[in-house]
Amino acid sequence: MKKAWQKSWVIILGILFLTTCLPTLSFAQTITSVNPNAANAGQTVNLIITGSNTNFISSTGARIFRTGWDIPAASLSASSNTNMTATFNLPPNAQLGNYTVDVWGAAPLANGFTVQASQSGSYGYISGKVIEEDGTPNCIVD
């Protein structure tokens, strides 16, 4: 009789574990963060990608993408199974906005990176002298 009681408790505890604890455990390989999470179009950027339950050491590729755009990583360097650096050369004409970060073998991070407008432009300067009527310089502008 005692053994039947013990078996019942084992079954009850097993059911409790399967219904309460197991669903909260995550075994999926996911990207959890990207740093920096934004850069300007036309820049080369090194993204530090962090994952959970990942195996970045054996990963063979990464990309950032959005509808109509797919930018592959120029290089990858994994420092551990959960941390890697991916270098991206963002085209000057890259579409602005949010991109999904994708590393082969891991669930992608939607809207994990933003391409911003380039801050480039041309700036000029004025060079000359302000001369008083008597010929002496008053101010030099360079």
Distance between CA atoms of residues 72 and 69, nearest Å: 10
CB 115 within 8 A of CB 92: no
Note the pLDDT tens digit of each residue in 38-53.
999 999 999 999 999 9
Instruction: Tell me what pLDDT residue 72 has.
Output: 98
Instruction: Tell me what pLDDT residue 40 has.
Output: 97
Distance between CA atoms of residues 119 and 101, nearest Å: 23
Q: How confident is the model at residue 22 (pLDDT cuts 50, 70, 90)?
A: very low
For 96, the token pair is: 């602005």
Residue 127: DSSP 8-state: -
Q: Give the highest mean pLDDT range of 47-56, 121-130, 133-142.
A: 47-56
Instruction: Tell me what pLDDT residue 64 has.
Output: 98
> Quick one: average pLDDT of 97-119?
94
pTM of the model: 0.67
Q: How confident is the model at residue 32 (pLDDT cuts 50, 70, 90)?
A: very high
